[in-house]
């Protein structure tokens, strides 16, 4: 066997700085700044955005200050100043929750690009052709201020960008069209179902996922519910359960974060498929039905870390009937690194879309023999 030094891991789809980044170049920085700010004002209603730029000439006094880290609560916003040499790993961590990054392409390289057709920067743009690896959009300058070519695209770009005829062109000041274009480029992560069957059911004294509430084991009932709402189910299990569960014909995700409970199951799912979202469901919810799952899915907000029901009895989010977005993978890992393994604490302390359930009874769980006896007594035909 060929020796590999490091474990092969499925990697999130990230650019140089984060998810869904676009470098804007081909025009002076002032135009890029104006465009980025106009787009952010439009996009902030539905997406979390970030803009990356550089100062051409910083304040000499600020440069001289021996700042390690300085945080200031500016009441209306927060300011963080620090001295450090950042690379892509630090930027990706800091910008993890951003849905869209706009970069000043005169200073930063992005994996996708928007090119402004501005003759004032033509000579400079020709020196940056190596940065044009995936041009997604051309922007024309206002009438009378563009290249003189019939189509407005100079020959040096046509020679470099072989698919230039397929790339859309908008006016630089057509903010609505540019906004709609960028929104169309933000993918909605695939939603999978993660059915938690790896618990040891110590309080119940027997496997809760195998209890029969609806004429079949609960784990199979939950998987069938997920299929009815158009979500592919996966069974989350312990390594030692794999052999016994293979016969169920559902895909398995064994725990690779052992002895961490539900948070370990969620992290294991993201480790297997880091670009997908996960609808996490425990097997101790006998009142679970198709309607409550549809309610959760329909109220999903992909710009949040997660979407969860707010339990009216304790006013806490319910982590084990919830949707965890791909960006929550890194967030959950950071909580784990701080010694926290409770998924509810992750949701409470993150940007979580909270929903008041129309049927709170669906959130009731059964964890002990007494609770099971009460359920059976109340639900006999």
3 state SS of 164: helix
Cα distances from 31 to residues 67, 117, 174, 182, in angstroms, run 32, 12, 13, 18
Q: Determine the pLDDT at residue 151.
A: 79
Percent of the chain's residues with pLDDT above 70 = 94
Extents of the domains making up the chain: 21-54+64-184, 191-378
**CATH number belonging to domain 21-54+64-184:** 3.40.50.300
Strand duo 316-324 + 306-311: pairing: antiparallel
Q: According to the model, what pLDDT value does residue 139 have?
A: 96
Report the distance separating Cα 323 and Cα 304, nearest Å: 10
Common-topology check for domains 21-54+64-184 and 191-378: no
Residue 198 near residue 242, CB atoms below 8 Å = no
pLDDT reported for residue 204 = 67
According to DSSP, residue 131 is labeled G
Q: Return the structure tokens found at 239.
A: 């390594």
Name the pTM for this structure.
0.92
CB 343 within 8 A of CB 329: no
Distance of CA 44 to the CA centre of its chain: 16
Q: What is the pLDDT of residues 110-127, one digit of tens each?
A: 999 999 999 999 999 999
Q: Which helix (H) or strand (E) holds 352?
A: strand 352-355
Mean pLDDT, consecutive 10-residue stretches, the chain (381 aa), reads 75 93 96 96 94 75 64 89 89 95 96 95 94 96 77 91 95 96 95 90 71 90 96 94 89 92 96 97 93 97 97 92 97 95 96 96 82 72 51
pLDDT of residue 255: 94
Fold of 191-378: Spore Coat Polysaccharide Biosynthesis Protein SpsA; Chain A (3.90.550)
């Amino acid at each position: 066997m060929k020796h590999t030094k490091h474990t092969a891991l499925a990697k999130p789809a990230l650019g140089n700085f984060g998810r869904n980044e676009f470098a804007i170049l081909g025009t002076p920085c002032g135009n890029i700044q104006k465009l980025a700010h106009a787009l952010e004002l439009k996009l902030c209603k539905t997406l979390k955005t970030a803009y990356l730029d550089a100062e051409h000439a910083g304040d000499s006094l600020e440069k001289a200050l021996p700042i390690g880290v300085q945080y200031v609560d500016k009441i209306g916003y927060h300011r963080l100043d620090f001295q450090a040499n950042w690379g892509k790993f630090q930027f990706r961590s800091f910008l993890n929750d951003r849905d869209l990054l706009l970069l000043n392409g005169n200073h930063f390289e992005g994996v996708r690009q928007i090119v402004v057709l501005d003759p004032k920067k033509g000579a400079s743009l020709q020196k940056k052709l190596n940065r044009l690896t995936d041009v997604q959009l051309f922007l024309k300058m206002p009438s009378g201020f563009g290249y003189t070519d019939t189509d407005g695209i100079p020959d040096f770009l046509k020679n470099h960008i072989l698919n230039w005829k397929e790339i859309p062109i908008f006016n630089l000041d057509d903010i609505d069209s540019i906004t709609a274009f960028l929104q169309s480029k933000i993918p909605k992560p695939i939603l999978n179902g993660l059915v938690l069957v790896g618990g040891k059911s110590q309080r119940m004294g027997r496997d809760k996922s195998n209890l029969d509430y609806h004429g079949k084991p609960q784990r199979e009932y939950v998987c069938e519910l997920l299929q009815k709402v158009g979500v592919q189910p996966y069974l989350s299990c312990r390594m030692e359960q794999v052999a016994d569960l293979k016969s169920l014909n559902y895909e398995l995700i064994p725990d690779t974060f052992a002895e961490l409970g539900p948070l370990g199951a969620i992290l294991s799912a993201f480790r297997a498929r880091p670009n997908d979202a996960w609808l996490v469901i425990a097997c101790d919810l006998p009142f679970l039905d198709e309607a409550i799952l549809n309610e959760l899915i329909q109220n999903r907000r992909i710009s949040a870390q997660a979407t969860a029901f707010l339990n009216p009895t304790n006013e806490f989010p319910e982590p084990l009937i919830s949707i965890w977005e791909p960006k929550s993978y890194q967030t959950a890992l950071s909580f784990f690194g701080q010694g926290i393994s409770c998924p509810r604490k992750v949701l409470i302390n993150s940007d979580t879309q909270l929903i008041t359930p129309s049927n709170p009874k669906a959130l009731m769980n059964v964890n002990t023999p007494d609770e099971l006896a009460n359920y059976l007594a109340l639900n006999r035909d």
